[in-house]
Structure 1
Amino acid sequence: MRNSVQVTNMKKISLLFSLLLLPGLHAIAVKAESIATIKARGEFNICVHNNALPFSKRESASGLHIDLAQLIAAELNVSLKLSWVNLPRYAKYVKCDAYMGVPIFPDEDEGFLKKTKPYTQIEILAISNANRQLKSIDDFDGLRVATISSSLIHMALLKRDVEIFVAFRNDLEIIDALINGDVDVAIAANAYWGFYKKTNPQAVADFHSQSTEYLNSLNGYPLGIGFRKADKATVTEANAILDRLEERGDLTKLLDKYGMEPVK
C-alpha cells in the first residue's frame, strides 16, 4: 500500500511539469508509427511545446528535446518534423511519433505510451541566497517563497508561516523573482535552475540550490522518451540509440549544454 501511495504522490509532483513538457500526453490516442514505419516514411515527428526552455522554443527552434530528437533522427537516417502543440486537445491532430520528455514511474501501466530508459533526472529544488540553509520545513517560516501553484510543496507550505507567491507561468519566472529580490526562496526544477545558471552565470553567483526531500520524499522522477502507440521493437531500438549516444559522449554533451546531467 505504501508503494502505491508513493507512486501516486510522485505523479502529483510531476503533473504540472509534465503538462508543460508534454502538451499532448493526455490527448486522445491516435495510431502512431513504429520505428520501421518511421524509417520507411523518412521522417521522425515529435510533439513540442512552443515556449518551454530549456526543453523547446519555437522562435529559435531550439531546446534539449529538439536537439535530442535531431540526434535520434540522424541515427535513423530520417528528417525531423517539429509539431508545435501547447494544448492537449490539439495533439491528436498532428499525429506525432513521440514526446521527448515523459516522467517514468515504477510499476506503472504505460498504456498507449511506450517509454524508453531514462536519460536524465528531474528534481525539485529550493534555491536561495548561498548564506541561507534550508534543512527542514521550519527553516521556511517567515520567508517569502515562490512556487508553482497547487504543487505538493505549495500545499505543505500553506500550513506554515510563509508568504507564498504563485503567479508565475514557469520555473524560469520563479527563479527571476528570486534573483530580483522579490522572494527569499524559489522552488524550481533542477532542469530550469541548471539552464538559468548556464545563461545567467553572473546573476546566480551568490545563490545555491538545496534538496526539498524533507518537504516531500518523492521530489523527483526520471525522464525518458515516450513513443505513442509503439511496439517493443521501437522502444528497444530507441534504447539502443540512447546507449550509443551515451557511449560516444553525445548525450552528456547535449545535457550539459542546457545545464542538465545524465542519469547517475
Structure 2
Amino acid sequence: MCRQTGRLITRFFTRTNTAIIRCLLLACWITSPVAQAQALSEIRSSGAINLCANPQQMPFSQRGDSAEGFQIDIARAIAEKLDVALNVSWIFSKRQAKKVGCDFYAGVARLEDGDSKYLLITDPYLRLEFKLVTRDDGPIINSVEDLKPLVVGVSPGSIASHALAVNHISIAVRFADEASRLQALADGLIDAAVVTNVSAGWFQADRGKLQVFDAERILATQLNYDYALGLRRSDDDSRNGFNQLLAEMRSDGSLANILARYGLK
C-alpha cells in the first residue's frame, strides 16, 4: 500500500535526518479509513484543522507548556488565518498514527520528484541547511581535514554520516536527534555536530553561541533541501489555498517572526 512512499523514503533517507524521515513515514502509515483528512473547504466548515507532530523533537515540535517548536507555531498561525481551532495529535509510532487523522504536517521535505501518493506538498517556506557546529571555544573547521582529530555527532544512516565515514572521521550516532546532539556537544561528549540551521539557530538563541560552518562545503556533498507543508488526502484547490496562506504569512511578516524566534533570519 505504501510502495510509492517507500520509494520516496528510500531516495530521501540519506539526504535528511531521522526527524524528517519520521514525518514521511507517518504520512504513509496514517492511511486507514478510520480517520480521514479533510480538504480545505471541509476544514473551514468543520471549524478545526488537525496537525500531526512529534512530541519530542525540538526545535521542530515538542509537547509541553513552554516552547512547542516552529512547526507548531506555524500551524497555529495557519489556523488563526483560517479562523479555525488547531488540534494537535502528538504521535511518533505506527500504532499511534493509525488511530488518528490529521489534515497536514507542518514540515516535510519538498524533493525534486514532488508529491507522494499520500501527500500533496506545498510551496516551500524554508530552506533547511545542514551545518557543522562546534562550541564557541572549539576548533575552527575549514576543511574535512580539520575534522580528523574530532568526534562528530551525526544522524545515523544519513549522507553526512557516510561522507564523514569515508573520510575516516570518528562519528557518534547514538545522539539520534538534533537536540540531544547539541546537548552532547555542550556537555563535551562530542567535539562537533551536524545539525540543521534551525537547530543551530534555536540553540544559539536559547543556550549560547556556537561556531557554525557550512556542512555541504566541508563534506563536499549535497545535504540541503526545501521544507514545506505536507497535506494528507487533499486536493489541488486545497494546496493552492495553503500556498496562498503561506504567501500571506511571508507578506505580513508573521512567518519571518516565527522563524526569528528560533534564531533564523
TM-score (norm 2): 0.86
Task: Tell me how far apart the structure 1 counterparts of residues 117 and 84 of structure 2 sit (CA, whole Å).
Answer: 27
- Say how many residue pairs are matched: 251
CA offsets 1:128-176 (integer angstroms, 9 cap, x no match): 2456332332222121211122222212222334322121141122122
Residue equivalent to 1:211: 214
Task: Tell me how far apart the structure 2 counterparts of residues 220 and 232 of structure 1 sit (CA, whole Å).
Answer: 26
Residue equivalent to 1:3: none
Task: Tell me how far apart the structure 1 counterparts of residues 135 and 88 of structure 2 sit (CA, whole Å).
Answer: 39
Runs of 4+ in 1 over 6 A off after TM superposition: none
Task: Tell me how far apart the structure 1 counterparts of residues 179 and 24 of structure 2 sit (CA, whole Å).
Answer: 17
User: Does the 8 A contact of 2:120 with 2:234 survive in 1?
Assistant: yes
Q: Displacement, 1:8?
A: 7.2
Residue equivalent to 2:141: 134
After superposition, residues 221-232 of structure 1 pair within 5 angstroms as 221-232=225-236
Q: Displacement, 1:117?
A: 0.8
Comparing 131-140 with 179-188, which one deviates more in the overlay? 131-140
RMSD of the alignment, in Å? 2.2
Comparing 45-54 with 138-147, which one deviates more in the overlay? 138-147
Residue equivalent to 1:85: 91
Asked if residue 51 in structure 1 is aligned to residue 53 in structure 2, the reply is no
For residue 43 of structure 2, the aligned residue among 38, 41, 64 is 38
For residue 198 of structure 2, the aligned residue among 191, 203, 212 is 191
Residue equivalent to 2:263: 259
Residue equivalent to 1:19: 21
Q: Identity, % of aligned pairs?
A: 27
Task: Tell me how far apart the structure 2 counterparts of residues 9 and 142 of structure 1 sit (CA, whole Å).
Answer: 32
Residue equivalent to 1:112: 118
Give structure 1 stretches of 5+ with no counterpart: 1-6
CA offsets 1:204-256 (integer angstroms, 9 cap, x no match): 2xx31111114253211111101101101101111111111111111100111
Comparing 9-18 with 59-68, which one deviates more in the overlay? 9-18
User: Does the 8 A contact of 1:146 with 1:164 survive in 2?
Assistant: yes
CA distance 1:186–1:20, shift in 2 (3 Å): same
TM-score (norm 1): 0.87
Residue equivalent to 2:6: none
Task: Look up the equivalent residue of 1:37 and give its one-letter code.
Answer: E
Task: Tell me how far apart the structure 2 counterparts of residues 124 and 221 of structure 1 sit (CA, whole Å).
Answer: 9
What secondary structure does 2:27 align onto?
Answer: coil
User: Does the 8 A contact of 1:26 with 1:88 survive in 2?
Assistant: no
User: Does the 8 A contact of 2:39 with 2:235 survive in 1?
Assistant: yes
Task: Tell me how far apart the structure 2 counterparts of residues 66 and 23 of structure 1 sit (CA, whole Å).
Answer: 19
CA distance 1:38–1:75, shift in 2 (3 Å): same
User: Does the 8 A contact of 1:10 with 1:221 survive in 2?
Assistant: no
Give structure 2 stretches of 5+ with no counterpart: 1-8
User: Does the 8 A contact of 1:147 with 1:166 survive in 2?
Assistant: yes
Task: Look up the equivalent residue of 1:99 and give its one-letter code.
Answer: Y
What secondary structure does 2:259 align onto?
Answer: helix
User: Does the 8 A contact of 1:22 with 1:101 survive in 2?
Assistant: no
Task: Tell me how far apart the structure 1 counterparts of residues 135 and 53 of structure 2 sit (CA, whole Å).
Answer: 33
CA distance 1:198–1:252, shift in 2 (3 Å): same
User: Does the 8 A contact of 2:120 with 2:233 survive in 1?
Assistant: yes
Task: Look up the equivalent residue of 2:65 and give its one-letter code.
Answer: S
After superposition, residues 142-157 of structure 1 pair within 5 angstroms as 142-157=149-164
User: Does the 8 A contact of 1:125 with 1:209 survive in 2?
Assistant: yes
